């Protein structure tokens, strides 16, 4: 992962960390469930965005490099990694 993407994603993760702490406070304070659920959805959407950007970077760099210069085994390993990741996500 390049430094620019790493810095960007670390910033997003720090904000998400703050969101999660805020959600925990909401639970402790017995806030309205729909308000808590709304905040949970927002945090999950933010995590999904981080995941999407890291996956995009992986495809653009690691997978592309394996397909352009790697062996058949390296290419198959990258395909298998992605299939395994997508299976776990479903």
Fold held by 3-89: Methane Monooxygenase Hydroxylase; Chain G, domain 1 (1.20.58)
Mean per-residue pLDDT of the chain: 91
Is a pLDDT exceeding 80 seen at residue 70? no
Nearest Cα neighbor of 23 from 12, 36, 32, 41 is 36
Q: pTM to 2 decimals? A: 0.80
Question: Measured between alpha carbons, how far is residue 49 from residues 27, 29, 43, 62, 68 in Å?
Answer: 25, 29, 10, 19, 27
Q: Pick 40 or 2 by higher pLDDT.
A: 40
Q: For the chain, which residues make up each domain, given as ranges?
A: 3-89
pLDDT (0 to 100) of residue 60: 87
Q: Grade residue 88 by pLDDT with cuts at 50, 70 and 90.
A: confident
Is a pLDDT exceeding 80 seen at residue 90? no
């Amino acid at each position: 992962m390049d430094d620019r993407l790493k810095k960007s994603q670390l910033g997003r993760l720090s904000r998400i960390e703050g969101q999660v702490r805020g959600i925990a406070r909401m639970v402790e304070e017995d806030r309205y469930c729909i308000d808590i659920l709304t905040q949970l959805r927002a945090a999950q959407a933010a995590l999904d965005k981080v995941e999407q950007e890291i996956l995009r970077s992986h495809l653009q760099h690691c997978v592309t490099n394996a397909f352009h210069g790697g062996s058949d085994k390296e290419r198959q390993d990258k395909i298998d990694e992605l299939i395994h990741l997508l299976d776990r996500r479903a």
